[in-house]
A and B are shown apart, each in its own frame.
Chain A
Amino acid sequence: MATLRDEIYPIRSSDDIVKVRQITREWALMQTFSLVDQTKIVTAASELARNTLEHGHGGEVRIQALQEGSRRGLRLTFVDQGPGIPDLAKALQDGFTTGNGMGLGLSGSKRLVNDFDIHSETGKGTTVMIARWK
């Protein structure tokens, strides 16, 4: 698998969430994603960036443009050093929320992408990786 581009952006404020959306859109266009695919990955990025900010108390996102054979994809890895998620299975259920949202952030994002991976350690932080392939 070849990495065409690889960058890291901070998530420290609500303006950064908007920026993550814009960058994800740009990169999805660069990877010639269809409009629906662009919309899905940008929406998932927005949900996860907000999680990083609100639950992880800020962090960063690594964005990678990938190519595997003729397949092109985008991978986003959200990393925070926040309190972590004590019960991952529960956090992945629709409607489960500890904040003031609707509890669709994790479960909804998972449905919008092809690959989804999450690691969390109480007191150390959370890492969420998503990828969408065209």
Chain B
Amino acid sequence: MSGYLLAAGGDPATPDAGLSMTPSLALVLAIGVLFTTGVYLLLERSLTRVLIGFILIGNGANLLLLVAGGRAGGAPIVGITPVEQMSDPLVQAMVLTAIVITLGLTAFVLSMAYRSWQLHGHDEVQDDLEDRRIARIAAANQPSYEDTDTEESGSLDTEAPTVRDETSTLGRDDRRRRHPDGGRDE
């Protein structure tokens, strides 16, 4: 195992032998860009964009893990690389695990986006039910409320009365009938 991992922010007096803990600026910048673009996309309504945002942030986190392992060195195999020049293999193992997990979850979210498209013709993350109820109440009181959050030009007060609301007094049977499997909602 390579050592010298204790420096960043830790003990100022840590002897900094061997590989430097000072991270490469390019990697730090890349992490920053990945996180900012990822967060931007994560705030979108479309599930596909959210997914891309998640992938970007995930990659940023993976890079961060790599940086946490210190500067890159030689292959961490005893007998090939001197111990002082080895890369830290542990972070690479962790990053690999994280990549595999991200892959699986990406597949799942993609299938969910596809299912949403099958059902509704779009893959937008729909409103929280409580939001809808409040929007309906607001619609009853204050018809001029403008919604600027969604891409559609319509406002919540026109949509809220028509939107499907699970908390309404409609029974399960009613809802079932309005949702034939695979059929489009609107």
A and B co-occur in one complex: no
A residues adjacent to B (C-beta < 8 A):
none
B residues adjacent to A (C-beta < 8 A):
none
